[in-house]
Amino acid sequence: MRVAMIGTGYVGLVSGACFADFGHVVTCIDKDPSKIERLERGEIPIFEPGLDDLVARNVREGRLFFTLEGAQAIKEADAVFIAVGTPTRRGDGHADLSYVYAAAEEIAGLIDGFTVVVTKSTVPVGTGDEVEAIIKKVRPDAQFAVVSNPEFLREGAAIEDFKRPDRVVVGTDDERAQAVMRDLYRPLSLNETPIVFTGRRTSELIKYAANAFLAMKITFINEMADLCEKVGADVQSVAKGIGLDKRIGGKFLNAGPGYGGSCFPKDTIALVKTAQQYGAPTRLIETTVEVNTARKKAMADKVAAAIGTTNLTGKTIGVLGVTFKPNTDDMRDAPSLDILPALQAMGAKVQAFDPEGAKEAAHMLEGVEFKAGAYEAAEGADALVILTEWDQFRALDLDRVKLLMKAPVVVDLRNVYKPAEMVRHGFTYASIGRGR
């Protein structure tokens, strides 16, 4: 099969490389010349474990191409994927679909023979209808079907998630398009991955419903964590105790500083907006958004409480991890972007370390000093905050950390350490939802 992938962001690049690895011939198209140049040289613009090797191998074996000029690839393609960004639109919170529609116009002028046009970007319900209308308007004669095929991969585990997904969702009633999609995902049938064929609007909604449900699940356990702290209970045991019930499931029940990233914050807000627009408000998700926003400010207060004063003037806070989760350099909507400025507003000087995110974060976190390592971030600090659970923070030399710090206060917002162990090492230790 021949695939054209428009957009080489996270989803486009990972999906393109994985489809090539399945044996398809894939051309990834992007309008950004510097990005294409870097990719052609084998440089991957994002940090994602395993992606550089996967791209290099498929380029070497002649199945994966990068280009600024996608006309030929789109003409020859059996399937053209739209994997461009859908950021939150300034002012009203809806998803900005201008890149999706621009891609649809470009495709319309080039379609040659029956072509499946697939929206992989996360798009609100009804976007597929609009893409279809755009193509029909430009090319009333074109033979095509517009399919929704949302992506469920997680940053940091993207290749594994693409190649071994829990399910693939394909939204189209067109039988020819269904056959093309089945062929594209054929390698997954070896591990019996279910393909859910459904209507296009349903498929579009499944993506938002999945992300909103997960965001709500995290927010639920975060609220339970707050309650645990008050009543003297342990949130990790609560998560285990409820998660073993298969109807609930144990995943995404890690309490923390609030969800962040390029998807949950944006997609929950977009779903709320769509639901309001259609007169069917999703109150649970509205509340989820509110609770998660408030939580980030509350995390700064938690740090101040551990130090014992709300006036942090003259205090230095060391921070370990600023990305929204480990194994990524992505800073989009990272909780650090709210928590660190809130600490600064209370007067603190903040010094931080992140294994991959520092470069990006340095532009976004004004006044934060970035250090070369975890111990450097601890040096002279009145409190050390573990904000992202990178593996390298899991086995710190605690005695060394204590010696380096001005005061031995650790605020562990990811529950990486055990309270008893930290107390044994002489730390004042605060974590999430461990009231006993």
Shortest distance, position 45 Cβ to ligand UGA, whole Å? 16
252 binds ligand UGA (CB under 6 A): yes
Nearest distance in Å: CB 207, ligand UGA:
7
**How far is it, in rounded angstroms, from Cα 117 to Cα 145?**
6
| Residue 89 vs 154, nearer CB to ligand UGA | 154
The answer to the question of residue 154 lying near ligand UGA (CB under 6 A) is yes
Answer for which of 20, 39, 188, 253 binds ligand UGA (CB under 6 A) is 253
Contact between 120 and ligand UGA (CB under 6 A)? no
Q: Please, which residue, 324 or 427, has the CB nearer to ligand UGA?
A: 324
Beta carbons within 10 angstroms of residue 175's beta carbon? 10
Segment near ligand UGA (CB under 6 A); pick from 150-158, 163-171, 290-298, 417-425: 150-158
The interface region with ligand UGA, picked from 256-264, 310-318, 336-344, 361-369 by CB under 6 A, is: 256-264
Classify burial at 5, counting beta carbons within 10 Å of its beta carbon; exposed 0-12, middle 13-18, buried 19 or more.
buried
Concerning whether 18 is annotated as a catalytic residue, the answer is no
State yes or no: residue 211 binds ligand UGA (CB under 6 A). Answer: yes
- Using CB under 6 A as the binding rule, whether residue 218 contacts ligand UGA is answered as yes
- Residues 369-408: x/- map of binding to ligand UGA (CB under 6 A)? ----------------------------------------
Is residue 153 involved in binding ligand UGA (CB under 6 A)? yes
**Of 17-25, 184-192, 195-203, 247-255, which part binds ligand UGA (CB under 6 A)?**
247-255
How far, in Å, CA of 356 to CA of 189, rounded? Answer: 35
- CA distance from start to end of the chain: 57
Q: How far is the CB of 68 from ligand UGA (least distance, A)?
A: 25
Residues 38 and 52 sit within 8 Å (Cβ to Cβ): no
- Based on the shown chain and the rule CB under 6 A, indicate whether residue 213 belongs to the binding site for ligand UGA: no
In the complex, the smallest distance separating the C-beta of residue 221 from ligand UGA, rounded to whole angstroms, is 7
Closest approach, Cβ 126 to ligand UGA, in A, equals 19
Answer yes or no whether residue 123 interacts with ligand UGA by CB under 6 A: no
Nearest approach, Cβ of residue 223 and ligand UGA (Å)? 12
Which of 18, 28, 228, 263 is flagged as catalytic?
263
Q: Which residues bind ligand UGA (CB under 6 A)?
A: 122, 151-155, 211, 214, 218, 252-254, 256, 259-261, 263-264, 324-325
Active-site amino acid positions? 263
